[in-house]
Structure 1
């Protein structure tokens, strides 16, 4: 009887150990499952942000953007309607080359005697304003090559240096076309009857032959 009792006790201890081991394995499995779920949830949370980074559009370089960093106005050469060659408060007039401006004012006084007013449609321009006008011309004409027939680059424009002026209205431009040489004021381009520059030698020799458009002007190829 004693031996049988010891065997029963031993069998009971083995069963208890097996139960404990089974319970321990179950616990380990549960912990592993929780950990896997946490890892999976963290991965799914991270992946959308990675997709956003990959799908984000790269910023265009500054040179590729057509917009300007600030508003362009009178300070850059924009001229209010009705501005004359005597409006010193307008930078587009005040910043013109002094010799050009003096010749324009002499011509304007004589034109007024004939009932004609010389209006400045455009005079001096800042490089930023010239670039803006060039961008607009490219959009209008469809290419830089076509735009070059009408608008120069900031590096080559006589407006930026203060050595060119656009005169209006058409009657004033026509008056200056006929009489401008006497003041040293000459049309430069055949396609721009409003564009005038100072050529002092024209007073004695007359104005030089016009270029068909700015693309034929050697100054534009610098």
Structure 2
């Protein structure tokens, strides 16, 4: 008996489950489980950064696995910035290739295309984060402090669209930071 409820919601749920089963089957046939592809569980060991992490947190792999020269410059700058009441938080540092690929897949989903996602997230093969050569500094005051003083430590913002992304350019202490790329798609290192 139908008491005025439409059968359409049940039909939609059925189509959705069929889609999930078909996509899941395609992923399994390709050698990837649906849970593995969609979930791609990552954690601190892959470079996920717990809230409140600073550049001095050696127990966090995203900090501990940064290039030692980059980490030294960050810590020197952070020590000096602390005198002005500024704390350098790390929102992202070193990342495993697995975590980088997860971020890229999420960016493609969020931005709607690989081309648009590439303006924000590199592949695991080209990412300076995977190499331990980049850090995303958390806190607007820290990013602002680095924009004014970072070159003196060799710390340069590399992309105009990412005020939080810094890499080590040792020559910047003498010559200043090089011009920024508009975004990662303009960076020749991303074309490998």
**Shorter-chain TM-score tier:** 0.7 to 0.9
**Deviation per CA, 1:55-87, whole angstroms, max 9, x where unpaired?**
xx6644136967168621000000001100000
2:59 aligned with 1:103, yes or no? no
Structure 1 segments of 4 or more deviating over 6 A? none
| 8 Å Cα contact 2:156/2:167 also seen in 1 | yes
| 8 Å Cα contact 2:88/2:138 also seen in 1 | yes
Higher relative CO (CA 8 A, sep ≥ 6), structure 1 or 2? 2
| Structure 2 alignment gaps of length 5 or more | 1-24
2:115 aligned with 1:142, yes or no? no
| Structure 1 alignment gaps of length 5 or more | 1-56
Larger Rg: 1
Give the CA deviation at 1:170: 1.1
- Structural RMSD (CA): 1.6
Residue of structure 1 equivalent to 2:148:
178
**Deviation per CA, 1:130-169, whole angstroms, max 9, x where unpaired?**
0000000000000100000000000000000000000011
Equivalenced residues, count: 166
1:151 is matched with which residue: 111, 118, 121? Answer: 121
Look up the SS of the partner of 1:120 in the other structure.
strand
1:160 is matched with which residue: 106, 130, 140? Answer: 130
2:63 aligned with 1:86, yes or no? no
Look up the SS of the partner of 1:190 in the other structure.
coil
Look up the SS of the partner of 1:67 in the other structure.
helix
Residue of structure 1 equivalent to 2:31:
62
For residues 127 and 72 of structure 1, what CA distance do their matches in structure 2 show?
A: 11
TM-score (norm 1): 0.72
Look up the SS of the partner of 1:134 in the other structure.
helix
Residue of structure 1 equivalent to 2:171:
201
Look up the SS of the partner of 2:125 in the other structure.
coil
For residues 63 and 84 of structure 2, what CA distance do their matches in structure 1 show?
A: 23
Look up the SS of the partner of 1:138 in the other structure.
helix
